[in-house]
Amino acid sequence: MAPSRARPTLPLLLVLVAVVIPGPSGAQVSIHPKEAFLPRGASMQVNCSSVCSENLNLGLETQWPKVELDRGETWKLFELSDIEEDSSPLCFENCGPIQSSVSATIVVYSFPERVELDSLPTWQPVGKNLTLHCRVHGGAPRSQLSVMLLRGEEVLHPEPVDSRNPKEITATVLVSRDDHGASFSCRAELDLRPQGLALFRNVSTVRHLRTFDLPVTIPKLDSPDLLEVGTMQKVMCSLGGLFPASEARITLELGGRTLTSESTNHGDSVSATALVSSELEGTQQLRCVLELADQILEAERTLSIYNFSTPVLTLSQQEVSEGSPVTVKCEAQGGARVVYLSGAPPGTPAPQVQFMLNASAEDNKRRFFCSAALQVAGQELLKNQTLELHVLYGPRLDDRDCLGNWTWPEGSQQTLKCQAWGNPAPKLTCSRRTDGALLPIGDVKTVTREMNGTYVCHAVSSHGNVTRDVFLTVLQKDQDIQATEGTGRGHETQGPASLSHKDTNASLDPPCGQQRTAAFELKGRQIAFTLTHLFRLWQDKMVTWGCTNQTSSASHLWPQDCMERTSQDQGRVSVTWTHPQPGGLQPGNADLITNCPCWGPLPKEE
């Protein structure tokens, strides 16, 4: 018996079919197994046998290495090894002069050596076709081998394998945004289930696809056209409609220098912001560079960098006394021109403009305004400067801010409004001329008849003082018309006098709009009456209307009433009189005040 060899570890599928081929004179030879299904490189045993009984010569023809393992009178057992492909070993016999033979069929199966999916592009544009290539090396039997391309677990293109080696199959995919990050692979399947084995699979390396999508527009670069030296401006570059935005990279550059920027993305938009500054005048290129996949989009703007200083506004003296000369001067620098200086006469823009004034009280806290212009890249830029002048002047008391005549009803709530002006601010007091009683300024007081009188308001500061008389008339609650102190002209009273309704022969309150004649009879004296109507307009101005009629001998005087009513008038009636004294006409007074019923009350003080 021939030496035995190690048996192959892979399973052998043997279909044992004894075939007897009759030969001459009844000779017969058979081969066992008739069919075999083996893995590539495997070994198998083949038995050749015969029924010949005389002069038998039995053998096996094969392309594979063989070893005779055993024999008998009518049989031989061989072992074939390293079987690499399909073949048909042949058993033959010589029985005397007669020859006969029989063959078996060996089918070899093998798994593919390699299944390869070609590399995918680094980036694949959305909306373009992608062709996948898969190659299968080896694998048998080819009739039971198939190859398919996969996207994830989705089969894109199944195809059987022909006899070519290596086998290549292709598939074309229209790429969308959903394919970004998708995995693609190639899988070979060897189906040996018909031979009682399993379905064997071999998969290529999985490759991942990266897709991108870009709009046809370039990035939007938002920045000023002008940049002032020493300042910082915010610039932003943005682009929408790209995919994937998270993979995009934006760089901002000024004059070839990369700026420190902050990038953000949201949805299919990406943006980057940076602060830009420069210490050099001139023009520089501001660039935005967007990179996605292997694509580069650029936007560019020219930035004009300028130097423009605020104009210098000066006063020869910022604090002066009233009447002092002051020079106001404005200077522009670096090619700029002064285009306006408040108080200066109009003129052609120049690097310097100035004028002189004599400071008055009205100039106190006057703000002077200077504006300079600079032309940069076809644009006119303006810068302004202001400065305030302080004028020192003595106190001011005038009728606008401190009325000379006040008429208050007794018992009402009133406030004396008297304002003194000056720089420095003066101190103001108002005291009654006769006894020095103070009248509080700005405080709400209940009016009493004792407050009636002439008050001297005195304003004083380090730059002088001023005095003004204020006449306060209190309307008493009773209906008598009393003569009170003061003529309304700041003179001392020369003697009391009184008049009442019984002294008149005409009504003091006739119907509104009619002429009124008031008769006052003082026997044995020469009298002059002045009838004055004081009223306040809504514009807060005090107007006095009046008329005077004098006689030298008549004991009855009929002065003409000069009151004329208008729809806007509101007021009260005051009658003052004078009487002769030795040495000439000396002042005295009696105030007659009454309401005109249809006029309504005086407007409130504001």
**Is the link from the previous residue into 219 a cis peptide, with omega within 30 of 0?**
no
Query: Do 322 and 276 belong to one domain?
Result: no
340-to-375, 376, 380, 393, 556 alpha-carbon distances in Å:
16, 19, 14, 29, 71
Q: Does 404 score more than 90 pLDDT?
A: no
The stretch 321-348 carries a mean pLDDT of 94
Q: What is the pLDDT of residue 502?
A: 33
**Is the link from the previous residue into 121 a cis peptide, with omega within 30 of 0?**
no
Three-class SS state of 397: coil
Q: What is the pLDDT of residue 580?
A: 35
CA angle at 244 for the pair 243 and 247, rounded to the nearest 5° = 130
Three-class SS state of 583: coil
Residue 345 β-bridge partners? none
Q: What is the pLDDT of residue 68?
A: 93
Q: What is the pLDDT of residue 150?
A: 92
CA distance 286 to 277: 11
Query: Do 59 and 87 belong to one domain?
Result: yes
> Is 575 inside any structural domain?
yes
> Is 493 inside any structural domain?
no
Q: Does 16 score more than 60 pLDDT?
A: no
CA atoms 340, 346, 350, 355: torsion sign: negative
Q: What is the pLDDT of residue 164?
A: 62
Q: What is the pLDDT of residue 592?
A: 35
Q: Does 187 score more than 70 pLDDT?
A: yes
By mean pLDDT, which of 137-141, 354-358, 559-563 is the weakest?
559-563
CA distance 374 to 282: 15
Q: What is the pLDDT of residue 483?
A: 35
Q: Are 222 and 233 in contact (CB under 8 A)?
A: no
Q: Are 71 and 1 in contact (CB under 8 A)?
A: yes
Containing 286, the helix (H) or strand (E) segment is strand 282-292
Q: Are 112 and 188 in contact (CB under 8 A)?
A: yes
> Is 603 inside any structural domain?
no
Summarize the chain as % helix, strand, coil (round to 5): 5, 55, 40
Query: Do 362 and 454 belong to one domain?
Result: no
CA angle at 41 for the pair 35 and 45, rounded to the nearest 5° = 45
> Is 531 inside any structural domain?
yes
Per the structure, the complete domain to which residue 457 belongs is given by 397-475
Q: Are 221 and 286 in contact (CB under 8 A)?
A: yes
Q: Does 503 score more than 80 pLDDT?
A: no
Number of domains in the chain: 6
Chosen domain end from 52, 78, 103:
103
> Is 5 inside any structural domain?
no
Q: Does 325 score more than 90 pLDDT?
A: yes
Quickly list DSSP for 340-383: EETTSPP---BSEEEEEEE--GGGTTEEEEEEEEEEETTEEEEE
> Is 114 inside any structural domain?
yes
Q: Are 561 and 575 in contact (CB under 8 A)?
A: no
Q: Are 68 and 61 in contact (CB under 8 A)?
A: no
Query: Do 89 and 164 belong to one domain?
Result: no
Confidence band of 156 (pLDDT split at 50, 70, 90): confident
> Is 488 inside any structural domain?
no
Confidence band of 161 (pLDDT split at 50, 70, 90): low
The stretch 459-474 carries a mean pLDDT of 92
Query: Do 549 and 568 belong to one domain?
Result: yes
Confidence band of 163 (pLDDT split at 50, 70, 90): low
Query: Do 408 and 343 belong to one domain?
Result: no
Strand pairing class (413-415; 366-376): unpaired
Q: Are 285 and 255 in contact (CB under 8 A)?
A: yes
Chosen domain end from 274, 291, 306:
306
Closest C-alpha to 335, from 309, 314, 371, 305: 309
**Is the link from the previous residue into 426 a cis peptide, with omega within 30 of 0?**
no
Tens of pLDDT, residue by residue over 277-291, are 999 999 999 999 999
Query: Do 123 and 157 belong to one domain?
Result: yes
Q: Does 264 score more than 80 pLDDT?
A: yes
Q: What is the pLDDT of residue 165?
A: 62
Q: Are 454 and 493 in contact (CB under 8 A)?
A: no
Q: Does 570 score more than 60 pLDDT?
A: no
Query: Do 229 and 188 belong to one domain?
Result: no
The stretch 300-325 carries a mean pLDDT of 94
Query: Do 26 and 64 belong to one domain?
Result: yes
- Take residue 595 and report the two structure tokens written for it: 């309401």
Chosen domain end from 47, 76, 103:
103
CATH number at residue 578: 2.60.40
Contacts of 496 (CB under 8 A, 6+ apart): 483
CA distance 236 to 264: 11
> Is 8 inside any structural domain?
no
More confident of the two residues 452 and 493: 452
Confidence band of 69 (pLDDT split at 50, 70, 90): very high
Percent of the chain with pLDDT over 70: 73
The alpha-helical segments, DSSP class H, found in 416-533 are none
CA distance 432 to 440: 11
CA distance 512 to 594: 13
What is the widest separation between alpha-carbon atoms in the chain? 203
Q: Are 167 and 161 in contact (CB under 8 A)?
A: yes
Q: Does 34 score more than 90 pLDDT?
A: yes
CA distance 299 to 569: 75
Confidence band of 380 (pLDDT split at 50, 70, 90): very high
pLDDT mean across residues, the chain = 77
Q: Does 467 score more than 60 pLDDT?
A: yes
Query: Do 182 and 208 belong to one domain?
Result: yes
Q: Does 410 score more than 50 pLDDT?
A: yes
CA distance 118 to 121: 10
Contacts of 305 (CB under 8 A, 6+ apart): 226, 227, 228, 229, 278, 280, 281, 282, 283, 284
Confidence band of 53 (pLDDT split at 50, 70, 90): confident
Q: Are 246 and 265 in contact (CB under 8 A)?
A: yes
Q: Are 421 and 449 in contact (CB under 8 A)?
A: no
CA distance 433 to 487: 13
Q: Which of 201-215, 407-421, 465-479, 591-605 has the highest mean pLDDT?
A: 201-215
Tens of pLDDT, residue by residue over 84-143, are 999 999 999 998 888 899 999 999 998 888 899 999 999 999 999 999 999 888 888 888
Quickly list DSSP for 517-547: ---B--TTS--EEEEEEEEE-TTS-EEEEEE
CATH number at residue 468: 2.60.40.10
Query: Do 302 and 316 belong to one domain?
Result: no
Q: What is the pLDDT of residue 139?
A: 86
More confident of the two residues 27 and 601: 27
- At which residue do the structure tokens 């996969």 appear? 150
Query: Do 290 and 322 belong to one domain?
Result: no
